Amino acid sequence: MTHRLLALTVAGFAILAPLTSQAQGLRPSTGTGVATPPARLQPEVQRQADYIVAVVNSEPITNNEVRTEMQRAMQQLAQQRRPQPDSKLLARQVLESLINQKAQLQLARESGIQVDEAAIDLAEQNIARQNQLDVTELHRRLAQEGVVLSQFRAQLRDQLLLTRLRERDVDPRARVSDLEIDQYLREQQNDSNPATQEVNLAQILVTVPDAASPVQIAALQARAQRALDRARAGQDFVALVREFSDASDSASGGQLGLRTADRYPPLFIQATQNLGVGDVSALVRSGAGFHVLKVLEKKSAGAPAMTVTQSRARHILLRVSPQLSETAARDKLNEFKKRIMAGQADFAALARDNSQDGSAAQGGDLGWANPGMFVPEFEEVMNRLTPGQISDPLVSRFGVHLIQLTERRKATLNPREQREAVRAMLREKKLDETYATWMQDLRGRAYVEMREPPQ
């Protein structure tokens, strides 16, 4: 349980930013900053004679602190079934991380950055919620595992301090200009290396038996040509796959999957290399038969996807208050779900009459959403639904929701959305570089004294 809480503690910090109460409030803020180091939630290791191993601006780091962090790191590696590193190397890495963290925390406090008890309470609530617990049960389980509550909350405070410091000092330096986006897009257009180009093709395959006669081959080619003509006329390619294709991938709409160009048959790449997304190739003859190929997506490896799966959902939100507990809200939404499933009520009507979200007037409709537009706890549940399916009540930072997925579709991002996707990708890269430079400068200005262990 401790390590599960550990993972969710880190996830929780990404969603602490306050958001509005409208439907758009389900969407997380765009600038999450540099990821914070994980909180240390494991119980205290058995103490041995302690001593100081380093001093950072007059503040000590002890051997036991290093040992505690090493134990956490080794437990995580064991859980992930990864090889254990050399203990001396790990000790050096852990000590370096603690020095950096100590320097950051000192700067945050000297700069006047503060974290109040309400923010720590909210962090606790996020961790409890993601573990499907209430805060009281979270405290009980931490106590069972030997984690001191005051220490746990102190670690949460440190995490929030680090997050706010980085949001203030690092995030503003990682802006991406329109010129940088233009340059990136030009480079991608000029990149013809098949090892770095990723392509997603869909195919209709009309197979030709090995012993087919010329007459049979001609008939099969004519069949493939009919499929090609109808595809180029704009008919739904998935429907044509179901009607014409003999390939085993017909259940997935003929999609062959996004992969680098060098992992496709050269015939396929030759036939589609000059085509744009949405275009259909001429007939391609291979040893298997006749292929009709449609380009679904093209991008450089590592570039953001330009085709996404969009979801359209509606929801009913009940906010927890002194008048409505979380349990009561769950019970009320469960009753709504039973009535809808029995045909005794309409989801949209219940949303209009009961939902405490800005989408209530639209029957709870949230519109078409790209991946990442909703907070994780909401989106994870929505993504598991099939069209028409209704979720069980789920808890987010906004309250308790009942979700119905109405539609799902593949969509190509429009030019503005494509530029924003590139901006987000470039910003993430720049954040990593900016943070490394900022941390190097901060470390250079800190007084760090290494101490030898006592003899």
Q: Treating both helix axes as pointing N-terminal to C-terminal, what angle do 149-169 and 87-110 enclose, rounded to 10 degrees?
A: 70
Confidence band, pLDDT 50/70/90 cuts, at residue 430: confident
- The CATH number of domain 307-412 is 3.10.50.40: yes
CATH dotted code for 2-176+435-450: 1.10.4030.10
Query: Is the predicted pLDDT of residue 6 greater than 60, yes or no?
Result: no
Residue 135 makes CB contacts below 8 A (sequence gap 6+) with: 121, 124, 125, 128
CA 367, CA 375: separation in Å to the nearest integer? 15
pLDDT value for 331: 93
pTM over 0.75: no
Dist. CA 45–CA 371, nearest whole Å: 41
370-382 pLDDT tens trace: 887 888 888 888 9
Cβ atoms of 277 and 297 within 8 Å: the answer is yes
Which range has highest mean pLDDT (114-118, 300-304, 411-415)?
Answer: 114-118
Decide if 156 contacts 41 (C-beta within 8 A): no
Residues with Cβ within 8 Å of 226's Cβ and at least 6 positions away in sequence, in order, are 244
* Residue 196, pLDDT score: 65
Instruction: Report how far residue 360's alpha carbon sits from residue 23's, in angstroms, rounded to the nearest whole number.
Output: 9
| Topology of the domain covering 197-300 | Chitinase A; domain 3 (3.10.50)
Asked if residues 267 and 273 have their Cβ atoms less than 8 Å apart, the reply is no
Same fold? 197-300, 307-412: yes
Number of Cβ within 10 Å of residue 378's Cβ equals 25
- Where do the domains of the chain lie? 2-176+435-450, 197-300, 307-412
pLDDT, residue 292, reads 95
